[in-house]
Structure 1
Amino acid sequence: MKIVICGSMYFAKEMLEAKKRLEEMGHFCFVPSDIQDCLKNPELSMDMEHCLRTNVQKECFDKIKESDAILVLNYKRNGVEGYVGGATLMEIGIAQCLDKKIFLLYPSPKIEDLRYSLEIQLAKPIILNGDLNLIK
């Protein structure tokens, strides 16, 4: 299966770990092209000049079109269990619109913790509860 790995770039290290694991399982995975830069400086994902220069958002959307599924690495961040940021929410929406499978590594955040949790749930993601082996 072709899978785009999505999530906050604060989880860049975890994205590479998931990519390695999924590829060992026979999947083909895409990660953001600026992942190495973000490993060195996680703040780059919030830098307008960097984002415009790399066009990474559009690149991710295009990769979703080519894929079978997305995997959202929604670890705890800023005190929110199952954190999903704005860019990742957009990727979920693109995947839903294109009828791609949507996998969440952990359950969606509580609506009290993240206002757009409802929109995530409406995309009907498959919740993996931390188990990448459930991706099929």
Structure 2
Amino acid sequence: MKIMICGSMAFSREMLATKKKLEAMGHTVNVPYDTVVHLADEKLVDDLDRNLIHARERDLMRQSFKLVAKSDAILVLNHKRKGIEGYIGTSALMEIGLAYYLGKKIFLLYDVPHHDRVRWAHEIRLISPVILHGDWSKMRS
């Protein structure tokens, strides 16, 4: 299966580790084009002024959308971030929406918080993604 890994760029290291794991299972895996850049500059993800220039110059959102479109599925790495278990950032939420619209399989590493905590959890539940809960066998095609 062709899989695009999505999630906050704060999880760049985890994206590369997950890519290796999925490739060992026989999948073809893509990560965002600037994953290595974020590994080298971990402050870039939260420096929105610099990040805006970086992302615009490379047309990163469109590039990520193209990778989603070419994939059979997306896997969202939604580790804990900013005190939120199952965190999904705005770019990942947009990629999820695109994947849903295109009829792609959608996998989340962990469940999302209750919608009383974060409003976007309601929309995630509407699309009924597959929650892995550590069971990588659910990634079979």
Q: Deviations over 1:11-63 (max 9, x none)?
A: 00000000000000000000011111101223334311001011111111011
Residues 90-101 of structure 1: pairs in structure 2 closer than 5 A: 90-101=94-105
Post-superposition offset of 1:132: 2.2
Aligned partner (choices 57, 70, 74) of residue 70 of structure 1: 74
Which blocks of at least 5 consecutive residues in structure 1 are unaligned?
none
Q: Secondary structure at the match of 1:64?
A: helix
TM-score normalised per structure 1: 0.96
Q: What does the per-residue CA deviation read over 1:102-133, in whole Å, with 9 as the maximum and x for residues that have no partner? A: 00000012212211110111111000002323
Distance in 1 (alpha carbons) for counterparts of 2:94 and 2:5:
13
Number of aligned residue pairs: give it.
136
Whether 1:51 and 2:51 are equivalent positions in the alignment is no
Higher mean displacement: 39-48 or 80-89: 39-48
- Segments of 4+ in structure 1 off by > 3 A? none
2:30 aligned residue: 30
Gaps of at least 5 residues in structure 2 are none
